[in-house]
A and B are shown apart, each in its own frame.
Chain A
Amino acid sequence: MSSSLHPVRQAVVAHRPIDFGEFVRRAGRSGTLVVQPRMGFGTPGQMRAGLAATKRADASTVGTITLDSYTRLGDLRAVDRALRAGNQLNGYPIVTYDAATTDRVLAGIRDDGFPVQVRHGSAAPRDIFSALIALRINATEGGPVSYCLPYGRTPLADSVRNWAECAKRFAALRDIGVQPHLETFGGCMLGQLCPPSQLVAISVLEALFFYHHGLRSLSVSYAQQTNPAQDAEAVFALRRLCSELLPVPNWHVVIYAYMGVYPTTDEGAYRLLGQAAELAVTTGSERLIVKTVAESRRIPTMEENVAALERAAAVARRTLRSATADPGADSQTYQEAAALIDAVLNLDGDIGPAMLRAFRRGYLDIPYCVHPDNAGRTRSYLDDDGWLRWAEIGALPLGHLVRSAGPRRVTSHGLLADLSYVRRTFDGDLPELRGV
């Protein structure tokens, strides 16, 4: 059949990258957890070396190209200035380097046994998607809500429009025989202190948004929070809701190792990473994005990333899948997440406008998020067992499910204590709270 194709299409078919989602799901079916770093370097040489080190690690890995923050903000002049001045960038400027340069970074490294994903964080990602499509890089991450509200001031309506357009263009890769994959970042939302039910709801809603705009290979994220039992309940709820709502079989769950204030000791950092790996395995999640021992101090080196990948893979190998049972549809997290999703979907037949309306009405409302389009009427806190609870639900449609915690005033001191709870717990006994 390929003999009848135009020569250009033949070339594409010859270099057709593997579907990222299918690769991860195949590993999952054989009982292997895929592990992945957060990794981005400013020069092609370093980036290639980082990908090669990830591939060589003693673990089932996929590669990551994390973009720099100037590219994320669309400030390409700042990228030029930095490159000309020889200043280090905090990620790979994929829009600025020409396609031949990035092709050389990937040549011989990206293959059917080592797919590569691009991670960024932009609410206005047109240029980034143009670069990905030109390079046939068919896996990335994001979402109209999760790449907008936590990071700056881009209006949510603009982000929804941008992401709808980019998702459609990315989905069109299928026209040339390439299956594009998108992962929701909605399971993270500010990294900490967002009660899990809302993380689950936003992750599912963003996956539905991607599906609506043509994507057929999806992953949904969930970021490890403060209590392992609550996290397991949340991931089981996420799986159940995806099974019920996503009209496509090609989806998987990716766990992010803790995204908040990280332990400062190597031992604490590794124990926390180990718990994330256990969470992934016991909930049947297929992929884990690791954090390193350097997390609390600086951008990690290649070696620290490889060590974290191997540590996580080792913990995963000795963890039993059946160690935790799915609590089913009765769990509090499932009930809350389902109520949030139902309320949003009932606002509009089109998922993008539905999410916009939801934030306007406060049906979705991220605690402590100061973006102008977030209602800002919800608050959360950690209870004595380290479970994340609602202190105030604002206009969230959860009145029938959440018992009011009573008038509970969140103070600056209490906020600091909650923000640093995981660090204190895993470092042992930090004598006092550090200033901000």
Chain B
Amino acid sequence: MTAPGHGLARRAARPQPARRRATVVVSGLASDAHTWNLVFLQLLIEELGYHVVNLGPCVPDEVLVGECRRLTPAMVVISSVNGHGHQDGLRVVEKLRACEQLAATPMVIGGKLGIADRGNARQVAALMAAGFDAVFDDGGAGVADFRNFVRSVPPPAAAPLETAEAAV
């Protein structure tokens, strides 16, 4: 379970014909014990050409921030299905964005983010304003939209980590 993040960043200046597998961090939030959503996302993102570090469920804010600083991933994908994702997500994205090396990293959140059926538009706006690049609220097109988002992120080999940060 070693993460190639640092090595990739060092070697990235030379363009490679083959795609390198950059690292994506997948994580649950502190109060959420669900796992299957994270396993599904891991497989999906691996199929899209990335190496995934899956931090699993019930990840304290400090662990998520610490791992992201250590790995400087190409993307951070947070999933929450216990209804606290809105509150927990707002809190943690501010901590992530406060880290200099994560200021421009693509970060997304998805799942069942609130406990009510209504008021989602406002929650989505608040999460975007707090620092997420995309919010995928539970619904029919969630997975397709997410796949399109991942594909829209500059591919790791063409846009290595240092330049990816400048480009986003």
Contacts and interface: CB of A to CB of B under 8 A. Distances in A.
A120 B36 CA distance: 20
Interface of B: 1, 31, 33, 35-44, 47, 54-60, 63, 79, 81-82, 111, 138-144
A150 B33 contact: yes
Interface residues of A, number: 26
10 contacts: A73-B58, A151-B33, A153-B56, A261-B36, A368-B39, A415-B40, A435-B142, A436-B36, A436-B111, A436-B143
A153 B63 contact: yes
Given A411-B47, A412-B44, A436-B111, A69 B33 contact: yes
A191 to B, nearest CB: 8
Given A153-B59, A434-B140, A435-B139, 8 more contacts: A152-B57, A190-B35, A368-B36, A368-B39, A370-B38, A411-B43, A411-B47, A415-B40
B142 A415 contact: no
Contacts of B139: 435
Nearest to A121: B33
A302 interface: no
A69 B31 contact: yes
A342 B40 CA distance: 33
Contacts of B39: 368, 370, 415
Interface string A231-252: 0000000000000000000000
Contacts of B57: 150-152, 370
A410 B43 contact: yes
Nearest to A72: B33
A72 to B, nearest CB: 8
Contact of A415 (B43, B63, B79): B43
A369 interface: yes
Nearest to A190: B35
A192 B35 CA distance: 11
Contact of A412 (B40, B59, B144): B40
A212 B44 CA distance: 43
Contacts of A412: 40-41, 43-44, 47
A416 interface: yes
A368 B37 CA distance: 11
A410 to B, nearest CB: 7
Contacts of A416: 40
Contacts of B31: 69-70, 73
Contact of A435 (B33, B54, B138): B138
A371 B1 CA distance: 12
Nearest to B136: A435
Contacts of A33: none
B143 A435 contact: yes
A150 B35 contact: yes
A411 B43 CA distance: 6
A355 interface: no
B151 to A, nearest CB: 15
Contacts of A69: 31, 33, 82
Contacts of B54: 370
B140 A435 contact: yes
B56 A436 contact: no
B131 to A, nearest CB: 23
A436 B41 contact: yes
List 10 tightest A-B contacts by C-beta distance, closest first. A152-B58, A412-B43, A435-B143, A412-B44, A370-B56, A435-B142, A151-B33, A370-B54, A436-B37, A436-B40
A73 B47 CA distance: 34
B29 to A, nearest CB: 11
Interface string A126-167: 000000000000000000000000111100000000000000
Nearest to A375: B1
Interface in A302-344: none
A416 B82 CA distance: 19
A410 B143 CA distance: 18
Contacts of A152: 33, 56-59
A276 interface: no
Contacts of A150: 33, 35, 57
Contacts of B56: 152-153, 370-372
A272 interface: no
A95 interface: no
A70 B63 CA distance: 18
A261 B35 CA distance: 12
